[in-house]
Chains A and B, each alone.
Chain A
C-alpha cells in the first residue's frame, strides 16, 4: 500500500464515517432521552434509500403501505388507551397526530408516484414519508413498556429489528438499489481525487450536527430534552412529559436516519436488510462515545469508517469481522474508563 492508496482509503473512510456519525448521534440522542437502544435505526436508513430509489424509478415505494399500517395500529392503540382512561375527548387530537399527519406525505407520494418529480422535491418527500415511522413505532412498541429496564427495552429493540427487516423484504422486495448521484463533480485535494458526493456527505454531517447543537443549546424544547436525558425525575417535576420528550427524540432520530439514508443511497447498493450492519457499525462509534458523549461518538464513528475502508482493502471477506472485532478492545477500554452508576434493577 502506498501513500496514494492510503489517502484514497482514508477519504473513502471519512465519507462513510460521516454517515455513521449521523446515525450514531441519533442512537445516542434516542438512548439518552428514552433509554431505548433503537436497534432498527439502520433499517430506517435503508428504507429511506429504498424509498428514494423507488421514487426515482417512478414506483410506489413500500414505505407508503408501511406508514399506513403503522399509523392505523398506533391510532387504534391510542384510542383504546384514551377510552380506558375515560378521556375520549382527546380522540380528535390523537387522530390528527397519529393518523392524519403521518398519512399526508404518504398520500402525496401515493398520488404522485407515477411522475418523476425534481430531485429536491423527491428528497423532501422521501424524508417526509420516513419521519413518522420511528415515532409511530415508539407508540406501538415501546410506550406500553416505557418503565421497563434498559435490558428489556433492548431485547424488544432486537426483536423489532427482525420484524422490520421482514417487513422490508415484504414491502421492498429482495432487489438492491442505488440511486443516481446528486452531484457530478470531482475535486482534486492534495493530488487525490475526491468525489463531490463525499464532500456532500461530510458537509451534511457537519451541518446537521451543528443544527442539532443549536437546537439543544438555544430552544426550550431542546433544553427540555437535554434535561430529560440528564435527570428524568427532575424533568418530570418541571412538568416535562416523558412521552412527549420521547416522541421528539424519535422524530429527531428519524430525521438523522432519513438524511443518512439519502446520503448513502447513491454511494452503496442498499438492500432491504442492509440497515442492520450500517446501524451496528455506527453503534460501535456510539459505544466508543460511551452512549453519552456526542463529540467522542462522532470521532469514534469516523474511526470505524476509516477502519472499515482499510479492512475492505486488505481483506474484503473479513471486513465485517474486523469492524466488529474492534468492539472488543473498545469495550475493554470502556470497562475501565466508563463510570457507570450501579445498575440496581432489583426487579
Chain B
C-alpha cells in the first residue's frame, strides 16, 4: 500500500469517525464513547502485555484510582475536573511507580499474580473508605468544561474521548518506533540479552508499567465524567480481565487491536444483554459472565494472536525505503595497540560443589584477537559469562580498561565498552533485522520516553539507523533490513548478532562460538570480517571449537580444561603443546 493510499484511508476514517454525532443516534454514540474509554485501557495493555510481555490483571484498579481522584476533587471538593485530571494522573502514576518498583523485579507469572492481589486490595479500599462514599460511591460529578462549553451530551464528550484516544495512540506509536520502544519490545524473551546491551531492564519495565497505568488513568477520568458517577464495581478484577480480553482479542501486539478489541467486547456485551434474557429469563446476569469467560478461553485456545494480525495478512506490506545516509554516531577512541585492556586475575566460579572456573588468569591486549579454546565443558562459556557480567565470580578480580568490573552487572559492563554475542543465538525473532541491530546502538544514544513519544528523537534516530545499516552491510545482510530476524537461517542469525554487537561501538568484542553452524564459505567471510575489525583497532575475544578457524585467525590462544587454564601462547606454540593434543584428542588415542 502506498503512502498516499494510507493517508487517504486515514483521512476518510477520521471524517467518518468525527462526523458520527451528526448521523448516529445518541445511544450508538454512547456505545462509541464506551468503546473509546475501554480502548484507552486496552491500549495500555497493548504496550504492557503485547509489546513488553508483562500481563496485568489490575488495570481497572488504576482506572478506579483515577476515577476516584477526579470524583473526590470535582464532586466532593468542588474543584474543576481538569484539576481532577492532574490529580488522577499524578496519583495513578505514583501508585503504579511504587507497585511497579516492588513487583517488577519478579518475572512472568509472579508479577501477574501480584497484580490480582493489589487489584483486589485497591478495589476493597474503594468500597471501605467512607470519605469516598464506600460501596455507594460518589454521585453527581460535574461535567468536563472546555471554556464555557460543558460536555454534557454523549455527542459532546465523544470528541474529547476520541481525540484523547487518537493522541494516545499516536504517542504510543511513536514510542514503539524509537530507541526506548525497541528496548521495551526486546524485554519479551528474557533479560539476558537486554542487559547485555546496556539497557537497564528494570527501569524500562517500570516506565512501561507507569505509562500503561497512565493510559488507564486517562480512561478512568473520562469514564468518571462520562457517567458522572463513581462506584467500586466497574473497577473490580472482572473489569481488569475484560480489559485484558479486549487487548488480546483485538491483537495485543497492535495499537489497532485495542480499539477493535474494545469495540467487539462492548458490542458483544450489548448484544448479549439483548439476547440472553430471551434464552434464559432470570439468569442472564450470571450467564453473561459464563459466556464471556468461555468465549475468551476458546479464543485463547484457538487464535491467541488476535484479530489484527489475522486481517493484516491480507493487506499488502507497505514498502519501506532503506534508511537514508545521515551523520555517523560519535565513536569511542580505541586504546593504543598492545596496551593491556583487560586483566583476569585468579578468577573462580563455583556452582554448588562444582568448580566451573578454577583460578584462571590471563590478559587481553588492545588490538589483538585472543581465542579461548578447550574441550566442551571446560568452563569457557562460564568464563565468558563472568567477563560479561552475566555471572559474578566467586573469587578473583577482573579489570577492564583500568576499572574493576568484578562485581558489576551485565548492564554496567556493556556500558563500559564490552559487547557480546551468545552461544545460543539470542535475537528477537519477531523484530526486523534493522531493529535488532538498532538495539545495539542503545548505549550510544539518549532519547528517552517523552522525547520519543513527541517525535523529537528523529535526528538521532536517523543517525542510529544509518549506523545500523552500515553494520548490516558490513556483515552482508544489508539487502533486506526489514526482514524478520526469525526468518534467517542459523548462520545468518549468528552474523546478525555480530552486527548488533558492532553497532554498540565496543572496545572489546566478545564472541561465543561465532563459527558454530556456519558453512565453510561463511566461516571464511567471518574470519575476513574479524581481521578487518582488528585492523580498525578493535580488540576481540572469542571462544571457538573449530581449530582450523582459530589457528589461521587469532594472535594468541588461552587453552582451558576442566575449569583451569592449561596453557597460553601463539597458535604455533599451542599447536605443538602435548597437553593440548591430549585434551583435544579426547585422551583415548
> Could you list which residues of chain A lie within 8 angstroms of chain B, going by C-beta atoms?
37, 141, 144-145, 149-152, 154-156, 158-163, 165-167, 169-170, 277, 280, 283-284, 287, 317-318, 320-321, 324-325, 327-329, 331-332, 334-336, 338, 340, 342-347
Among candidates A162, A321, A344, residue contacting B189 with C-beta atoms closer than 8 Å? A344
- Do A320 and B121 have beta carbons less than 8 Å apart? yes
Those of B54-90 within 8 Å (CB) of chain A: 55, 57
Among candidates B99, B124, B128, B190, residue contacting A328 with C-beta atoms closer than 8 Å? B99
List A contacts of B584 (CB < 8 A): none
- Do B108 and A342 have beta carbons less than 8 Å apart? no
Among candidates A160, A167, A327, A340, residue contacting B114 with C-beta atoms closer than 8 Å? A327
- Do B118 and A328 have beta carbons less than 8 Å apart? yes
- Do A331 and B110 have beta carbons less than 8 Å apart? yes
- Do A331 and B106 have beta carbons less than 8 Å apart? yes
Instruction: Identify the closest chain A residue to B192 (Cβ).
Output: A342
List B contacts of A283 (CB < 8 A): 113, 117
User: Taking the nearest CB of chain A, how far is it from the CB of B59, in angstroms?
Assistant: 13
Instruction: Identify the closest chain B residue to A31 (Cβ).
Output: B109
- Do A163 and B110 have beta carbons less than 8 Å apart? no
Known: A156-B297, A325-B118, A346-B429. A150 touches B108 (CB 8 A): yes
List B contacts of A335 (CB < 8 A): 102-103, 105-106, 110
- Do A163 and B107 have beta carbons less than 8 Å apart? no
Segment of B220-228, B282-290, B411-419, B533-541 engaged in the interface with chain A: B282-290
Instruction: Identify the closest chain A residue to B112 (Cβ).
Output: A154
Residue B477 at the A interface, CB < 8 A? no
- Do A163 and B57 have beta carbons less than 8 Å apart? no
Those of B256-292 within 8 Å (CB) of chain A: 283, 285-290, 292
List A contacts of B288 (CB < 8 A): 166
- Do B107 and A162 have beta carbons less than 8 Å apart? no
Instruction: Identify the closest chain B residue to A290 (Cβ).
Output: B110
Instruction: Identify the closest chain A residue to B288 (Cβ).
Output: A166
- Do A347 and B190 have beta carbons less than 8 Å apart? no
Those of B158-210 within 8 Å (CB) of chain A: 188-192
A-B contacts, 11 listed (Cβ < 8 Å): A154-B109, A166-B290, A167-B286, A277-B120, A287-B110, A320-B120, A328-B102, A332-B102, A335-B110, A340-B107, A343-B190
Those of B396-435 within 8 Å (CB) of chain A: 429-430
Known: A162-B238, A331-B102. A324 touches B108 (CB 8 A): no
User: Taking the nearest CB of chain A, how far is it from the CB of B33, in angstroms?
Assistant: 25
- Do A162 and B118 have beta carbons less than 8 Å apart? no
- Do A150 and B103 have beta carbons less than 8 Å apart? no
Known: A324-B121, A344-B190. A37 touches B297 (CB 8 A): no
Inter-chain CA distance A344–B190, complex, in Å, is: 5
Instruction: Identify the closest chain B residue to A318 (Cβ).
Output: B128
Inter-chain CA distance A346–B102, complex, in Å, is: 25
- Do A144 and B301 have beta carbons less than 8 Å apart? yes
- Do A280 and B109 have beta carbons less than 8 Å apart? no
Residue B296 at the A interface, CB < 8 A? yes
Inter-chain CA distance A161–B296, complex, in Å, is: 12
Among candidates B105, B189, B300, residue contacting A152 with C-beta atoms closer than 8 Å? B300
Known: A169-B286, A327-B117, A327-B118. A342 touches B191 (CB 8 A): yes
Instruction: Identify the closest chain B residue to A326 (Cβ).
Output: B117
Inter-chain CA distance A158–B241, complex, in Å, is: 8
List A contacts of B336 (CB < 8 A): none
User: Taking the nearest CB of chain B, how far is it from the CB of A282, in angstroms?
Assistant: 12
Known: A163-B294, A170-B283. A150 touches B109 (CB 8 A): yes
- Contact pattern, B 23-34, Cβ under 8 Å of A = 1, otherwise 0: 000000000000
List A contacts of B103 (CB < 8 A): 328, 331-332, 335
Residue B125 at the A interface, CB < 8 A? yes
Residue B138 at the A interface, CB < 8 A? no
10 closest residue pairs by CB, A with B: A163-B293, A166-B290, A335-B105, A169-B286, A166-B289, A324-B121, A317-B128, A162-B293, A327-B117, A344-B190
Known: A37-B113, A317-B128. A155 touches B120 (CB 8 A): no
Known: A163-B290, A287-B113. A324 touches B120 (CB 8 A): yes
Inter-chain CA distance A150–B53, complex, in Å, is: 12
User: Taking the nearest CB of chain B, how far is it from the CB of A255, in angstroms?
Assistant: 24
User: Taking the nearest CB of chain A, how far is it from the CB of B107, in angstroms?
Assistant: 5
Known: A151-B108, A162-B241. A280 touches B293 (CB 8 A): no
Residue B244 at the A interface, CB < 8 A? yes
User: Taking the nearest CB of chain A, how far is it from the CB of B128, in angstroms?
Assistant: 4
Known: A154-B113, A155-B55, A159-B300. A343 touches B118 (CB 8 A): no
List A contacts of B301 (CB < 8 A): 141, 144-145, 156
Main SS at interface, chain B? helix
List A contacts of B124 (CB < 8 A): 318, 320-321, 324
Residue B523 at the A interface, CB < 8 A? no
Instruction: Identify the closest chain B residue to A283 (Cβ).
Output: B113
Q: Chain B CB within 10 Å — which of A161, A317, A324, A345 has the most?
A: A324
List B contacts of A342 (CB < 8 A): 190-192
Instruction: Identify the closest chain A residue to B120 (Cβ).
Output: A324
List B contacts of A152 (CB < 8 A): 300, 304
Inter-chain CA distance A280–B57, complex, in Å, is: 13
User: Taking the nearest CB of chain B, how far is it from the CB of A35, in angstroms?
Assistant: 9
Instruction: Identify the closest chain A residue to B101 (Cβ).
Output: A332
Residue B510 at the A interface, CB < 8 A? no
Q: A145-B300, A287-B110, A321-B128 are in contact. List 10 more A-B contacts (CB 8 A).
A: A151-B108, A163-B289, A318-B125, A324-B120, A325-B121, A327-B118, A331-B103, A332-B103, A335-B103, A347-B188
User: Taking the nearest CB of chain B, how far is it from the CB of A333, in angstroms?
Assistant: 10
Instruction: Identify the closest chain B residue to A150 (Cβ).
Output: B109
Residue B515 at the A interface, CB < 8 A? no
- Do B297 and A141 have beta carbons less than 8 Å apart? yes
User: Taking the nearest CB of chain B, how far is it from the CB of A110, in angstroms?
Assistant: 21
Residue B116 at the A interface, CB < 8 A? yes
Those of B238-265 within 8 Å (CB) of chain A: 238, 241, 244-245, 248
Inter-chain CA distance A324–B286, complex, in Å, is: 26
User: Taking the nearest CB of chain B, how far is it from the CB of A304, in angstroms?
Assistant: 12
Known: A152-B304, A159-B296, A328-B99. A347 touches B429 (CB 8 A): yes
- Do A162 and B287 have beta carbons less than 8 Å apart? no
Among candidates B107, B293, B430, residue contacting A343 with C-beta atoms closer than 8 Å? B107
Instruction: Identify the closest chain A residue to B106 (Cβ).
Output: A335
- Do A151 and B286 have beta carbons less than 8 Å apart? no
Inter-chain CA distance A149–B112, complex, in Å, is: 13
Inter-chain CA distance A161–B294, complex, in Å, is: 10
- Do A151 and B112 have beta carbons less than 8 Å apart? yes
Those of B120-134 within 8 Å (CB) of chain A: 120-121, 124-125, 128
- Do B286 and A159 have beta carbons less than 8 Å apart? no
- Do A170 and B300 have beta carbons less than 8 Å apart? no
- Do B297 and A280 have beta carbons less than 8 Å apart? no
User: Taking the nearest CB of chain B, how far is it from the CB of A116, in angstroms?
Assistant: 29
Inter-chain CA distance A162–B57, complex, in Å, is: 13
Inter-chain CA distance A283–B109, complex, in Å, is: 13
- Do A334 and B113 have beta carbons less than 8 Å apart? no
Among candidates B99, B285, B297, residue contacting A160 with C-beta atoms closer than 8 Å? B297
List A contacts of B105 (CB < 8 A): 332, 335-336
List B contacts of A345 (CB < 8 A): 108, 188-190
Known: A324-B121, A328-B102, A340-B107. A170 touches B189 (CB 8 A): no
